[in-house]
């Protein structure tokens, strides 16, 4: 909790803000309102925040890491430290393990998700981050490539703007922070609906989550997802899919999917991840939500 004197010096935020896992579609506002980054800052502890910035996905890790360090320091974080992990062996370093064991927030920057997984997967540092995020001990955010790695299965690359087909998407393993989801980012901005469809049809137990730029899918400990930012979060639910030809066709042939459910959520919308249903506010002034 922030002390009242500090509340008067900074934009007012709800006292009840808790830790969360923040999956950001990329290109989040870094200059003006900084809504998403500011939410991460407050959920990490505000003026008490000790933030680990991991820019391993980037080809210019120090440049991008220092940019976020400046942003969070200017917001008033107690500490924002760049962990420039550029070799897998660094994931074993005791000093880095100590820092991620004690920090209040971890931020994974954008870049190349394959590079990020190659450097972090199955390292002690990543195991600590994943465990603490899943336990609600820290706020973990990932943007762009840092968002793509959140699921156990991950979209490594592919095309866009075509009819859904197997060749449109390349799959591999992610970091497994939220194992039940499959994330695509820069979603409508780069016309990736068909790509996410092509991925989710082969993984019908997962939820496909497509996140637009400057938009965040915020996963809270109560089993709900809420949306922050200027764009939309698109959810593809194959749980009640009645038919697909995905096992019968060649890689470039069009996919067929029956009863694939679609939800599109904008800022303020919520989704019940356990019931796989939208939550609808009873009225604009009501804090209560009903299943949609």
How far apart CA 170 and CA 156 sit, in angstroms, is 5
Cβ atoms of residues 103 and 80 within 8 Å: no
DSSP state of 229: E
List 186, 198, 213, 263, catalytic entry: 186
Q: Is 144 a catalytic residue?
A: yes
How far apart CA 242 and CA 262 sit, in angstroms, is 14
How far apart CA 86 and CA 59 sit, in angstroms, is 10
The count of C-alpha atoms lying within 13 angstroms of the C-alpha of 232, restricted to the half-sphere facing its C-beta, is 11
List 44, 56, 144, 198, catalytic entry: 144
Cβ atoms of residues 239 and 261 within 8 Å: yes
Q: Is 186 a catalytic residue?
A: yes
Q: Is 162 a catalytic residue?
A: yes
The residues assigned a catalytic role are: 144, 162, 186
């Amino acid at each position: 909790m922030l002390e009242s004197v500090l509340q008067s010096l900074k934009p007012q935020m709800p006292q009840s803000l808790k830790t969360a896992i923040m999956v950001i579609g990329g290109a989040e506002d870094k200059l003006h309102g900084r809504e998403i980054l500011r939410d991460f800052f407050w959920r990490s502890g505000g003026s008490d925040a000790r933030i680990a910035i991991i820019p391993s996905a980037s080809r210019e890790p120090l440049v991008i890491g220092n940019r976020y360090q400046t942003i969070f320091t200017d917001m008033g974080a107690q500490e924002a430290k760049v962990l420039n992990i550029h070799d897998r062996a660094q994931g074993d370093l005791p000093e880095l393990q100590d820092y991620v064991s004690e920090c209040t927030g971890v931020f994974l920057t954008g870049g190349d998700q394959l590079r990020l997984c190659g450097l972090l997967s199955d390292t002690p540092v990543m195991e600590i981050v994943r465990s603490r995020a899943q336990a609600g001990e820290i706020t973990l955010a990932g943007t762009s490539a840092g968002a793509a790695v959140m699921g156990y299965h991950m979209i490594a690359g592919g095309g866009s703007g075509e009819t859904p087909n197997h060749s449109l998407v390349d799959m591999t393993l992610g970091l497994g922070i939220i194992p039940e989801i499959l994330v695509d980012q820069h979603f409508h901005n780069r016309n990736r609906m068909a790509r996410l469809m092509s991925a989710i049809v082969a993984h019908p137990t997962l939820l496909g989550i497509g996140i637009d730029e400057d938009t965040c899918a915020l996963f809270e400990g109560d089993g709900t997802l809420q949306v922050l930012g200027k764009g939309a979060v698109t959810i593809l639910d194959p749980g009640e899919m009645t038919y697909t030809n995905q096992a019968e066709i060649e890689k470039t042939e069009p996919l067929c999917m029956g009863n694939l459910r679609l939800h599109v959520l904008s800022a303020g919308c919520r989704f019940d991840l356990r019931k796989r249903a939208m939550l609808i506010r009873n009225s604009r002034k009501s804090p209560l939500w009903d299943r949609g």
